[in-house]
């Protein structure tokens, strides 16, 4: 099995990695390295471009035959919050979208028990009738397989009928996780992974572009994720046709798997990066902003994503009902600003990833609108003609009477018009009378004289006139830019960032509103000693040395303590190095309860076995524990490595010190906070000011090191200097002792 350095070099050379490489990279590579490798792959695929489109969703119904464990969208017929759109409703919805300049309509929804293939085809036709210039991307493979199986025809024939109705592409939903056993647990009613792949294979062979997805961040393992990616890569090799891969983050609200919780932002970034690295034959990786939120989506662009989906226009409820943004919408300006903020170039695309020429599209849209207006006028004329025919059928007597009553009135109006045309009018300026002419008002005359003089001056001195016009224009431009910069950048306006740590998220949002700031929750942890919803960290952070200031409207990104302690599967971490095991435990939110060292003749720092709550974990063991639970690891050491060197811990946070202690083959003993640590939140700020074993001293493997922490920076800084001086003294003493022994050995020779 290759190490990280070898795998990274292979990726940089543009070579394909295998399943074992992917697992090693996913588990062991630092996050920065994954971001670097994925960004290199992304630049090979699409350069500096990041794509978006103007799209809306139509979700005909949330009534669904299937009852997946993770779904927050599905409702039964008769539920109070179930909805159903008739064909007329769908067409009316499409007609309402005519003025939004969209290029794509995305149709997905629940698998309604009363919908057959004809119904699904009719939906597409209705949308195309209302929006003939828009591409329709319609129905997941789950919906397509159901409607075709119900019809009793082949997949190819079913797809042909959908294409004839106007379908241009297929979205990637319904894939979930391909592993058979896992599908039995989370979506047992849906089509199998083989059937999902068969629909997309047939579509690709017919020239129909599709997307592909994976639902991650619930109870799946890394092995199952990589297996899923491997099957997609194989299908793309055999029958190319996937335009984009979309990792879909599991959101935990309002479904039967809520206790699982949600994965961290770091896991999201690893998922995006590994997707770009592994799927070397799929052109695009999409960070679906509706699932991630805007801040995480921006971050994902530095981890290999080159597409963020589109404007959405608040037309999807699938993620909203699972706890995401309640009204998902981003304007084109917001999408482009997000991409530029990440350092990339925003590019508008159509459904097939063709770059949209704004001028050409506007001309096509205007042409369509002109045709539509012409059709509307024609329809109006037809209606009027029909009305005239009906009116003409009135009785002759009534018609004669109407004609006789109108004729005198018409003659009377003609006579009044002739008299008005010859009526004299008096000039306001001279008092003279002009027959049949309107006298010019003095103000209008003066204005005409002024324009005449300007024209004469411009004709006589054209160069000077042009210079004056350019100067006036430049002055106006400077004034407009200055006003725009003042209002846009809020020049001179700053706000001192409040310290939100220790507050509830509700109080933090209230204070942020008072200070014209925004609060974005970027991550969550779980601490049993801390109330749910408490802010434990923020970016930008405050400082005890100086005020940290920002512009009004700035967003503050916070980490909060979760309300519920989620459960996670205990990974099997034995038969690998201690560093690998620690990384794997940290990834799923578990910690080390104790390191127990046992002598071994072959290796040091190799995990022999693991225990949780007195139970040994085997490769086939399935055990779920709360996040933050401890695992006891039995670790090997060779006789010559029976002792280790105590690291310097003073000045480190508890998390940093704990990691350093484990890396040195030692255990954490007592953890003591002094009086400067007033509450549980301040523990995250505290630093080690004393350790029970001296830095640089020798200790047997498995020995416990006690830590003493404080928030008093002066204390920590002074004792750190003392510890560094003592470490230098000990190092010098060891060096002299080594030189003395070496000299004695040479004399003896």
Which has the closest alpha carbon to 190: 139, 133, 146, 233? Answer: 146
Q: Strand, coil or helix: what is 89?
A: helix
Q: Same domain for 546 and 687?
A: no
In terms of residue numbers, what domain contains 697?
A: 571-748
Report the 10 Å Cβ neighbour count for 577: 16
User: pLDDT grade, residue 451 (50/70/90)?
Assistant: low
Residue 631 is part of a domain; what is its CATH number?
Answer: 3.30.10.20
Q: Same domain for 543 and 423?
A: no
Instruction: Give dist(CA 459, CA 80) in Å, integer.
Output: 77
Least confident of 206-220, 368-382, 394-408: 394-408
Q: Strand, coil or helix: what is 170?
A: strand
SS3 of 228-255: the string is HHHHHHHHHHHCCCEEEEEEEECCCCCC
**284-304 confidence digits (pLDDT tens):** 999 999 989 888 999 999 999
Q: Same domain for 426 and 366?
A: no
| 307-320 as b/e: b if 16+ CB within 10 A | bbbbbbbebbbbbb
**Two tokens, residue 505:** 């998220």
Greatest Cα pair distance in the chain? 146
Mean per-residue pLDDT for 534-557? 77
User: What local confidence, expressed as pLDDT, does residue 195 receive?
Assistant: 93
Most confident option among 81-90, 239-248, 432-441, 635-644: 239-248
Instruction: Give dist(CA 512, CA 519) in Å, integer.
Output: 7
User: What local confidence, expressed as pLDDT, does residue 49 receive?
Assistant: 95
Cα three-residue angle 297-298-300, rounded to 5 degrees: 60
Least confident of 14-18, 108-112, 460-464: 460-464
Q: Same domain for 201 and 272?
A: yes
Q: Same domain for 104 and 210?
A: yes
Position 81 pLDDT exceeds 90: no
Instruction: Give dist(CA 111, CA 307) in Å, integer.
Output: 28
User: pLDDT grade, residue 453 (50/70/90)?
Assistant: low
Least confident of 114-128, 524-538, 596-610, 664-678: 524-538
Q: Strand, coil or helix: what is 389?
A: helix
Mean per-residue pLDDT for 257-266? 85
410 contacts: CB under 8 Å, gap ≥ 6: none
User: What local confidence, expressed as pLDDT, does residue 561 receive?
Assistant: 81
Mean per-residue pLDDT for 252-278? 89
Most confident option among 219-233, 482-496, 512-526: 219-233
For the residues of 431-479, what is the DSSP string, one character each?
A: --EETT-PPPPHHHHHHHHHHHHHHHHHHHSHHHHHHHHHHHHHHHHHH
SS3 of 547-612: the string is CCEECCCCEEEEEEECCCCCEEECCCCCCCEHHHHHHHHHHHCCEEEEEEEEECCCCCCEEEEEEE
Position 65 pLDDT exceeds 90: no
Q: Same domain for 431 and 447?
A: no
In a domain, residue 38? The reply is no
User: What local confidence, expressed as pLDDT, does residue 421 receive?
Assistant: 45
Instruction: Give dist(CA 274, CA 42) in Å, integer.
Output: 11
Instruction: Express the helix, strand and coil content of the chain in percent, nearest 5 each.
Output: 45, 20, 35
Name the residue with higher pLDDT: 485 or 385. 485
In a domain, residue 17? The reply is no
In the chain, the N- to C-terminal Cα span, in Å, equals 47
User: What local confidence, expressed as pLDDT, does residue 734 receive?
Assistant: 77
The number of C-alpha atoms within 13 Å of 200 and in the hemisphere containing its C-beta is 34
Helix orientation angle between 265-278 and 31-46, rounded to the nearest 10 degrees: 40
Name the residue with higher pLDDT: 602 or 598. 598
Q: Same domain for 60 and 168?
A: yes
User: What local confidence, expressed as pLDDT, does residue 383 receive?
Assistant: 43
**Two tokens, residue 239:** 């029958």
Task: Yes or no: say if 520 and 556 are a contact pair by the CB < 8 Å rule.
Answer: yes
Helix orientation angle between 141-151 and 155-165, rounded to the nearest 10 degrees: 110
Report the 10 Å Cβ neighbour count for 17: 20
Position 442 pLDDT exceeds 60: no
Instruction: Give dist(CA 521, CA 437) in Å, integer.
Output: 75
User: What local confidence, expressed as pLDDT, does residue 558 receive?
Assistant: 85
Strands 433-434 and 425-426: antiparallel
Mean per-residue pLDDT for 158-182? 95
For the residues of 324-358, what is the DSSP string, one character each?
A: S-SS----HHHHHHHHHHTT-EEEEB-TTSPBP-H
612 contacts: CB under 8 Å, gap ≥ 6: 570, 623, 625, 629, 630, 631, 632
Instruction: Give dist(CA 305, CA 50) in Å, integer.
Output: 8
In a domain, residue 33? The reply is no
Task: Yes or no: say if 502 and 538 are a contact pair by the CB < 8 Å rule.
Answer: no
Q: Same domain for 367 and 265?
A: no
Instruction: Give dist(CA 519, CA 4) in Å, integer.
Output: 38
> Which of 489, 506, 523 is a domain's end point?
489
In a domain, residue 16? The reply is no
User: pLDDT grade, residue 163 (50/70/90)?
Assistant: very high
Q: In this structure, what DSSP letter does residue 71 have?
A: -
**652-663 confidence digits (pLDDT tens):** 888 888 888 988
Strand partners for 219: none
In a domain, residue 464? The reply is yes
Q: What is the dihedral of CA 582, 583, 589, 591, to 10 degrees?
A: 10
For the residues of 617-632, what is the DSSP string, one character each?
A: PPTT---EEETT-EEE
User: What local confidence, expressed as pLDDT, does residue 415 receive?
Assistant: 54
Number of domains in the chain: 6
Question: Rounded mean pLDDT of the chain?
Answer: 82
User: What local confidence, expressed as pLDDT, does residue 456 receive?
Assistant: 64
User: What local confidence, expressed as pLDDT, does residue 251 receive?
Assistant: 87
Instruction: Give dist(CA 423, CA 436) in Å, integer.
Output: 6
Position 210 pLDDT exceeds 70: yes
Mean per-residue pLDDT for 441-468? 61
Position 447 pLDDT exceeds 90: no
320 contacts: CB under 8 Å, gap ≥ 6: 326, 327, 328
Position 146 pLDDT exceeds 60: yes
User: What local confidence, expressed as pLDDT, does residue 715 receive?
Assistant: 86
User: pLDDT grade, residue 648 (50/70/90)?
Assistant: confident
User: What local confidence, expressed as pLDDT, does residue 161 receive?
Assistant: 95
Q: Same domain for 540 and 459?
A: no
Q: Same domain for 182 and 312?
A: yes
Q: Same domain for 97 and 123?
A: yes
Which has the closest alpha carbon to 176: 138, 220, 139? Answer: 220
Q: Strand, coil or helix: what is 205?
A: helix
Most confident option among 134-138, 495-499, 634-638: 134-138
Q: What is the CA radius of gyration of the chain?
A: 37
User: pLDDT grade, residue 395 (50/70/90)?
Assistant: very low
The model scores a pTM over 0.75: no
User: pLDDT grade, residue 363 (50/70/90)?
Assistant: low
Q: Same domain for 194 and 101?
A: yes
In a domain, residue 119? The reply is yes
Mean per-residue pLDDT for 673-697? 82
Cα three-residue angle 724-728-733, rounded to 5 degrees: 150
Instruction: Give dist(CA 617, CA 574) in Å, integer.
Output: 9
Instruction: Give dist(CA 196, CA 181) in Å, integer.
Output: 16
Residue 271 is part of a domain; what is its CATH number?
Answer: 3.20.20.70
Mean per-residue pLDDT for 513-531? 79
H or E segment and range at residue 269 = helix 265-278
Task: Yes or no: say if 610 and 576 are a contact pair by the CB < 8 Å rule.
Answer: no
User: What local confidence, expressed as pLDDT, does residue 529 receive?
Assistant: 67
Name the residue with higher pLDDT: 42 or 261. 42
Q: What is the dihedral of CA 250, 255, 259, 263, to 10 degrees?
A: 10
Report the 10 Å Cβ neighbour count for 231: 18
In a domain, residue 10? The reply is no
Helix orientation angle between 265-278 and 19-28, rounded to the nearest 10 degrees: 150
Question: Nearest 5°: phi and psi at 356?
Answer: -85, 125
Mean per-residue pLDDT for 370-380? 50
Position 637 pLDDT exceeds 80: yes
Sign, Cα dihedral of 593, 599, 603, 609: negative
In a domain, residue 41? The reply is no
């Amino acid at each position: 099995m290759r190490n990280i350095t070898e795998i990274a070099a292979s990726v940089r050379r543009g070579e394909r990695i295998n399943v074992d490489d992917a697992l090693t990279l996913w588990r062991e590579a630092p996050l920065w390295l994954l971001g670097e490798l994925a960004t290199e792959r992304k630049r090979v695929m699409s350069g500096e471009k990041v794509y978006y489109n103007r799209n809306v969703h139509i979700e005909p119904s949330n009534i669904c035959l299937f009852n997946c464990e993770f779904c927050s969208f599905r409702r039964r017929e008769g539920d109070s919050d179930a909805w159903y759109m008739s064909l007329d409703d769908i067409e009316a919805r499409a007609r309402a979208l005519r003025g939004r300049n969209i290029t794509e309509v995305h149709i997905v929804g629940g698998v309604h028990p009363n919908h057959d293939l004809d119904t699904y085809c009719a939906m597409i036709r209705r949308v195309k009738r209302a929006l003939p210039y828009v591409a329709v991307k319609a129905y997941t493979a789950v919906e397509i397989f159901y409607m075709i199986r119900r019809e009793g025809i082949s997949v190819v024939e079913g797809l042909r009928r959908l294409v004839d109705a106007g379908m241009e592409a297929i979205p990637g939903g319904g894939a979930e996780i391909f592993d058979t056993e896992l599908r039995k647990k989370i979506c047992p009613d849906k089509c199998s992974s083989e059937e999902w792949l068969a629909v997309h294979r047939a579509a690709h062979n017919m020239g129909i572009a599709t997307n592909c997805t994976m639902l991650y961040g619930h109870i799946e393992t890394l092995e199952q994720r990589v297996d899923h990616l491997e099957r997609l890569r194989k299908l793309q090799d055999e029958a190319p046709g996937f335009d984009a891969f979309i990792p879909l983050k599991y959101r935990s609200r309002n479904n039967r798997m809520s206790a699982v919780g949600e994965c961290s932002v770091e896991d999201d970034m690893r998922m995006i990066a590994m997707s770009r690295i592994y799927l070397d034959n799929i052109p695009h990786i999409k960070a679906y902003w509706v699932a991630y939120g805007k801040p995480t989506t921006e971050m994902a662009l530095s981890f290999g994503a080159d597409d963020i989906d589109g404007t959405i226009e608040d037309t999807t409820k699938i993620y909203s009902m699972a706890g995401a943004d309640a009204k998902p919408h981003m304007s084109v300006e917001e999408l482009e600003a997000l991409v530029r903020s990440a350092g990339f170039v925003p590019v508008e695309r159509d459904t097939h990833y063709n770059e949209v020429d704004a001028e050409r599209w506007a001309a096509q849209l205007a042409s369509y609108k002109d045709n539509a207006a012409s059709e509307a006028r024609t329809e109006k004329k037809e209606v009027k003609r029909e009305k005239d025919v009906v009116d003409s059928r009135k009785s002759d007597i009534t018609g004669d009477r109407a004609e006789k009553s109108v004729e005198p009135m018409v003659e009377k109006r003609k006579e009044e018009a002739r008299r008005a045309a010859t009526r004299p009018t008096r000039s306001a300026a001279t008092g003279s009378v002009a027959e049949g002419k309107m006298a010019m008002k003095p103000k209008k005359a003066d204005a005409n004289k002024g324009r005449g003089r300007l024209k004469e001056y411009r004709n006589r001195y054209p160069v000077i006139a042009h210079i004056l016009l350019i100067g006036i224009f430049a002055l106006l431009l400077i004034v407009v830019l200055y006003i725009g910069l003042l209002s846009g950048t809020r020049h001179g306006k700053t706000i001192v960032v409040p310290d939100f740590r220790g507050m509830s998220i509700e109080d933090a949002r209230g204070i942020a509103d008072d200070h014209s700031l925004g609060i974005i929750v970027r991550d969550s942890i779980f601490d049993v000693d801390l109330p749910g919803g408490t802010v434990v960290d923020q970016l930008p952070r405050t400082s005890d040395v100086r005020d940290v200031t920002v512009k009004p409207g700035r967003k503050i990104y916070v980490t909060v303590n979760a309300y519920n302690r989620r459960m996670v599967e205990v990974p099997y971490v034995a038969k690998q190095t201690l560093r690998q095991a620690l990384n794997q435990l940290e990834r799923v939110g578990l910690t080390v309860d104790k390191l127990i060292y046992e002598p071994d003749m072959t290796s040091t720092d190799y995990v022999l076995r693991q225990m949780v709550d007195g139970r040994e974990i085997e490769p086939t063991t399935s055990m779920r524990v709360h996040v933050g639970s401890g695992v006891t690891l039995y670790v090997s050491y060779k006789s010559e490595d029976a002792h280790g060197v105590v690291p310097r811990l003073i000045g480190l946070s508890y998390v940093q010190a704990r990691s350093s202690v484990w890396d040195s083959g030692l255990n954490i003993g007592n953890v003591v906070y002094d009086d400067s640590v007033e509450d549980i939140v301040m523990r995250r700020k505290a630093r080690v000011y004393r350790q029970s074993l001296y830095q640089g001293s020798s200790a047997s493997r498995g020995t416990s090191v006690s830590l003493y922490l404080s928030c008093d920076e002066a204390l920590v800084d002074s004792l750190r200097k003392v510890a560094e001086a003592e470490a230098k003294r000990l190092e010098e003493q060891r060096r002299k002792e080594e030189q003395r022994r070496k000299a004695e050995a040479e004399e003896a020779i």
